[in-house]
Amino acid sequence: AAARLLAARDDDRGRVDYAYRVALGRRPTSPEAEIALRFIRSAGDQAPTEVWGRFWQVLLATLDFRFLD
């Protein structure tokens, strides 16, 4: 998923938007996008596929996937 995301968009903001649309079916709010970009940029010298892979995991752990019957 991370490699596909890296190939799909050229910039981090575009990647965040794309990941939100694929994983959650919506665009991120402005605060969500800023938090996501800080997360991505704080990775330092980690491999991009590792960082974006972790970002996918974060998206899948969001409240959007939790519900009550």
pLDDT given at position 63: 81
- DSSP 8-state secondary structure symbol assigned to residue 18: H
Residues near 51 by Cβ (< 8 Å), separated by ≥ 6? 2, 40, 43
The pTM score is 0.85
pLDDT of the chain, 69 residues: tens digit per residue: 888 889 998 999 999 999 999 999 999 999 999 999 999 999 888 999 999 999 999 998 888 777 765
pLDDT given at position 32: 95
The rounded distance, in Å, linking the Cα atoms of 38 and 19 is 15
H-type helices in 1-69, by residue range?
2-8, 12-24, 30-41, 48-60
